[in-house]
Each structure stands twice: as structure tokens, then as C-alpha cells.
Amino acid sequence: MFSRRRFLSCGAAAGLAGATGVYSVFVERCAIQTNTYRISVPNLPSAFAGFRIVHLTDIHHGVLTPLSLVQSVVRRANRIRRDITVCTGDFVHARNTAAEIDAVWPVINTLDAPAGVYSVLGNHDHWADARRSRECLQRSGQDVSHRVAVIERNGSRIWLVGAGDLWEDHRNLDRELKDVPQSECRIVLAHNPDTADTAFTSRVDLMISGHTHGGQVCLPWAGPLVLPVQNKNYSSGLKQSLRGSSVFISRGIGWAVYPVRFNCYPEIAVLELVPA
């Protein structure tokens, strides 16, 4: 038989669970932070000390991530002091439809930065419509997928290399890096951070990734609940790969498996680079 005390305890627990659910779906999931990370990069020329990269990833335009939210994120990114902006994929959410692709790319095309905007695709872009996603990326002028781009400053250079997505269009990084001088700084854009642990021998000074959403739900003492990567160390923030190189992973903007966030705010990441 239910005692009054037990009844009240169960009611309080149900109320707390309900409030947590509402908060996770409607509050934290929409509370996008702007976070700055100071990252020490090997082989970074002194001319690039303080070089600032705005990093957007995992926008997942679609259900519960309306175009108005994407527009707000882009406006915020364009107001941040930056040298370049990079995007590491998953611009859309739904599978087997080009509708979200056609809607989101005119907004993504309004991103700008003094030294350029550089983007690759993620697995959701391929799952929606790979051909259409590639067309929009190519027309945007941001495309570094399986390409390299060089940025110069005061006679020094850094190289951006687009690795694409591990699950859908991976190529060996030795192939991607073969035209980059051995002595110069190499920054790789890869949607999935597991790319850092694939079979290659070339040096990578910094990899910039997304894909994990930080786990979306991070419980105290338990950590992220769902990480769609093989290397479970790759949650969010600055990590080290199995070969000891730096991998930065943003928590991203949208949602993937579950439309919730708890103790894992979405973010616009700002990377401020300094020489190692």
C-alpha cells in the first residue's frame, strides 16, 4: 500500500524527471555558447600566432533545427573576430531528401571571413543526397573536400587539408597530404575524429572535427552517454590521437540520435592558435 510519504517522493521524482526532460529538449539544446580555445600547434609559424578560426559543425538543419536558428548561428559567426571560418559537415539532418540541403546552403553561403571559409561534408550530408550536397559545396566556393588550401601571412604559410567524412568518402591521409611541404604546418578538417587514428604515416599538426555532439547527454561521473566513434576519448574539446597528435572536437550545433542536450551545450567554437 502506498504511504503518503512514498506517494510524495514518487511525485517529486516524476516532476524532476519531467522538468529535466523539458530543460534538455527546449532549453539547453537551444542555448548555443561561443567558446574560445587557445591551442598550441606544432610547426605553426610565428606570423600566425593568435590566428583565429571560427569552427561550425553538425548544424543538422531539419526537425527542431529550423532555418531561423541556422541564420542566427551564421550571423553570430560573422560577428566574431576571426581570420578564417571552417565547417566540418552535417549541415542537414534527414535522410534521402535534398529539401534540407537546398534550404540550408543559401544560408551557409553567407558565411564570410577575411582569409576565407573552408568546408567539408559529413555523413548526414551524404545520407541526405551525396550528389546534391557535393554540388552545393562546390558552388559555395568553400570546398576543400580532398583538396588543400594555403593561407599566407608575412611570407609564412599554413595548409588546410580537407579529409571529408570517414564513413562515406574517406581517403588515406597520406594521399591527401602528399602535396604539402614536409616542414610546413598542416591543419586537417575531418568530420569524424576517428580519422586521426586511421592508417597513415604523414604528420598532422592539428585535426579539427565534429560528429560526436559531445555526447549530447553528459552525466556527472559517468561522462557522455552516446559517442558515435570508436575512440571513446573523442568526446569534445582538445584531445590527443593514438599517435599523439592534437585533435579538436566541437560539440556542434544540432542533434543527432536524440533531440536533447544535458550538461553539453551546443557551441560555436573559436580556436586561437599559438606556436608550440
Does a structural domain hold residue 5?
Answer: no
Cell match 574539446: residue?
Answer: 237
**CATH number for the domain harbouring residue 228:** 3.60.21.10
d(CA 235, CA 222): 13
pLDDT in tens, the chain (276 residues): 555 555 434 443 334 334 444 555 657 778 999 999 999 999 999 999 999 999 999 999 999 999 999 999 999 999 999 999 999 999 999 999 999 999 999 999 999 999 999 999 999 999 999 999 999 999 999 999 999 999 999 999 999 999 989 999 999 999 999 999 999 999 999 999 999 999 999 999 999 999 999 999 999 888 998 899 999 999 999 999 999 999 999 999 999 888 999 999 999 999 999 999
Structural domain harbouring 149 = 31-275
Classify residue 9: in a domain, yes or no: no
**Alpha-carbon span 228 to 77, nearest angstrom:** 26
| Residue 122 resides in a domain | yes
Domain count, the chain: 1
Residue 199, judged by CB atoms within 10 A of its CB (0-12, 13-18, 19+), counts as exposed
DSSP 137-188: HHHHT-B-BT-EEEEEETTEEEEEEEEE-TTTS---HHHHHTTS-TTSEEEE
The answer to whether residue 59 is domain-embedded is yes
Q: Is residue 20 part of a domain?
A: no
In a domain, 17, yes or no: no
- Asked if residue 248 lies in contact with residue 211, where contact means CB atoms within 8 angstroms, the answer is no
Residue pointed to by grid coordinates 516532476:
15
Residue 126 lies in a domain: yes
Amino acid at 246: S
3-state secondary structure of 69: helix
Residue at 11 is within a domain: no
